[in-house]
Amino acid sequence: MTKKKIWVIDDDAIYQIIITKIIQKTALFSAISSFRDGKEGIVALINTIENKELLPDIILLDINMPVMDGWEFMEEMGMLQSLKNENISVYIASSSIAIEDRNKSKKYPAILGYLSKPISLNDIELIASND
């Protein structure tokens, strides 16, 4: 089993530190990348495609972010044609418990799950094993 690449897109600096620690603990991922908002994520995706580097297998996406939020990120990602055949699993990781957000996430086929913060070790393991 090859280790997977995981990207975390979240504006909460503390969360980024915590989630990195947790992911490292699972030791299920080969690489962890962090981005402060959706815009940075999209730019990174485009760069990765252009540089023909390895795309992430899993993206943990926050909803409320400055510059570009989670939903906008999903729209932009959907417009990237070269990702059509790629299998990138997106998981929402939000502190929002609003049912609207949960429902909205179901509209995007690329979103495989909705995780409510706090994210536990088990959650990551489950995501990793899901593929």
Partner 1 sequence: MSSKNNRLKYFSWFLTKPRTTGFFAFLFLSTIVGYIGYQQYKIVEDDEQYAMRNKLQIIRQNIEQSLKNSYTTTLTLALTINDKGVPENFDSIGKKLLASNQTISAVQLVPKGVIRYTFPMKGNEAAMGLDILKSVYLQKEALKSIRNQKMYFAGPINLKQGGVGIVGRLPVFQNNKFWGFSAVIIKLEDLLKSSGAYGIDSAKYYFQFSKIDPASEKEVFYLPKENKFSNNYSAAISIPDGDWRIYLTSKHQNYLYAQIVIPAIFGLLLAGLFGFLITLMLKKPAELQLLVEQQAANLSDGEIKFKSIFDQAAVGIAYMDSFSGYFLEINEKYCKLLEYSEQELQNRTFQSVTHPDDLKEDLSNLEKLKQGTIREYSMEKRYLTKSGKIIWTNLTVSPLWNIDEKPSTHIAIVEDISLKKEAEQLLIKSKMSFKNLFDDSPMPLWEEDYSAVKNYLLELKLINESGKTVSSYFRNHPEVVKKCFSLVKIVNVNNQCLIQYAPKTKSELLNNVDLLFGEESIPSFSKHLEAICKGKRHLMMDAKIKKPTGEIRDIHFVYSVLRGYEDSLERVIISTEDITERKIAEKKIIDSQKRTESLINTIDGIVWESDIESFSFSFISKKVEQILGYTSEEWIASPTFWADHIHPEDRETTINYCILKTSQNLNHDFEYRMIAKNRSIVWLKDIVTIVFENDKACGLRGIMIDITKNKEAEKDLKYSFNMVTEQNKRLLNFSYIVSHNLRSHTSNIASIMSLIESSDSEQEKNEMLLLLKSVSNSLNETMLHLNDVINIRNNIGLVSESLNLNQYVETAQNALSEQISTHNVSILNEISNDVTVNYNPSYLESVLHNILSNSIRYRHPDRKPIITIKWLIEDKRKVLQISDNGIGIDLVKNADKIFGMYKTFSNNPESKGIGLFITKNQIDAMNGNITVESTPNIGTTFKIYIR
| Shortest Cβ 119–partner 1 spacing (Å) | 7
Rounded Cα–Cα distance for residues 96 and 56 (Å): 25
- In contact, 58 and 127? CB cutoff 8 Å: yes
The tokens of 78 are what? 């959907």
| Shortest Cβ 117–partner 1 spacing (Å) | 4
How far apart, in Å, are the Cα atoms of 102 and each of 44, 71, 114, 115? 26, 12, 7, 9
Instruction: Select the residue interacting with partner 1 from 37, 45, 92, 128 (CB under 8 A).
Output: 37
H-run or E-run covering 44 = helix 38-50
Instruction: Select the residue interacting with partner 1 from 121, 129, 130, 131 (CB under 8 A).
Output: 121
H-run or E-run covering 73 = helix 70-79
Give the interface segment with partner 1, choosing from 16-24, 48-56, 83-91, 106-114 (CB under 8 A).
Answer: 16-24
- In contact, 101 and 62? CB cutoff 8 Å: no
| Shortest Cβ 3–partner 1 spacing (Å) | 21
Among residue numbers 66 through 105, which ones bind partner 1 (CB under 8 A)? Answer: 66-67, 72, 95-98
- Binding footprint of partner 1 on the chain (CB under 8 A): 11-12, 14-15, 17-19, 21-22, 25, 36-37, 40, 64, 66-67, 72, 95-98, 116-121
